[in-house]
Amino acid sequence: MASLTLFSDKDRSLRRRHPWVFSGAIAREPPGLSSGQTVDVRDADGGFLARAAYSPSSQIRARVWTFDEREAVDESFFVSRIESALEARRVLVPAGQTNACRLVNAESDGLPGLVVDRYGDVVVCQFLAAGPERWRDAIVAALWRTAGATSIYERSDVEVRLKEGLISRTGLLAGAEPPQLVDIVEHGLRLAVDVRAGHKTGFYLDQRANRRAAARYAEGREVLNAFSYTGAFAVAALAAGAAKVTNVDTSSSALELGDHNIALNGLPADRVENIEADVFALLRRFRDSRRSFDMIVLDPPKFAGSRLQMDKAARGYKDINLLAFKLLRPGGVLLTFSCSGLMTPELFQKIIADAALDAGREAQIVERLGQPADHPTALAFPEGTYLKGLVCRVG
């Protein structure tokens, strides 16, 4: 087994079971290693630390498969890890709650760089790093054997693959071609998912519990659903008795699918207003025209993909939240989210507090929100906790 040797002061994170080895920690590596090759990671004295997948193009030079020197990384390894992840979901996602969930959550399920989501009978994979890319056939075979799917589809069309030296890939991996829209059920509500071209693997499964939380505040309220995508928050709010929902997104096709989701659930279309627009610009227009709402949902895309983008991201979060606070009526509720993993909960709260202060509004946190149980975080991998949200009530 080829080995990477770390500098003497760079092994602490691995000893604490963090699964990443950065390029700057490596003192020696043999020439000719290939992308995704399994390597041992050793300390400066030659002691075994971990077994990992090598990535020559990434700053994360190796991602750990196992900390057990006795464990081989082969086809049976992936069967075992996937079976374990699926078994956990039978407990983490109670029967009858939904037929859509995350089956494999990358590093936090011991399979770094691999994301697998289920939508009914369709399983969608993302191979995000060199390791799972090298073992793709074994992973697909293990999923076909264990997941009980009729289709396994690939959505490895994300920017992070470029950092791993990998090209974008999509398409059928096993079974029958999935339908254009896959219907799922979430807390008794029907939602259509475009697994071929939708965001992420087709849908924001990580907001499942937060959509239910939104429903608790929606009855009788006029709701602004910003960055609405396909309107899942709108469906939850209307089903809970919202008086009206205004969806805002830059994508006309997403708004159209949102209308489809309203119809799927037999909800009143006359209570829905769709606006195709840039959210930042529209919030300013609403402020200038003195439009107001009882409840606002801010679920923006990731603003910070690297530490260099954090200052800009912080300004973006403050901007939209300041505007939202100005648009809320007295007693109104703001549900605000960040899916930027580099944004800590403490910093996010500070940004929202500063936004309320600058807006001249008094506000309370009445609930803290995050990702659901099928998106677990390994204790030694805090980066796995990326989604954070606050429910704020204004005076």
Residues forming the active site? 339
Q: CB within 8 A of 213, min separation 6: which ones?
A: 335, 367, 369, 391
- Residue 92: phi, psi to the nearest 5? -70, -30
Could you report how far apart the first and last alpha carbons of the chain are, in Å? 63
Rounded to whole angstroms, the Cα distance separating 159 from 101 reads: 23
- Per DSSP, helices labelled H in the chain are 12-15, 75-92, 130-134, 136-146, 160-163, 208-218, 232-239, 252-264, 279-288, 310-327, 345-359
Buried b (16+ CB within 10 A) or exposed e, 24-58: ebbeebeeebebbbbbbbbbeeeeebbbbbbbeeb
- Transcribe 340-383 into DSSP letters: -TTS-HHHHHHHHHHHHHHHT--EEEEEEEE--TTS---TT-GG
CA distances from 126 to 54, 155, 360 (A): 18, 5, 44
55: its two tokens: 């990535």
Q: Identify whether the C-beta of residue 182 lies closer than 8 Å to the C-beta of residue 152.
A: no
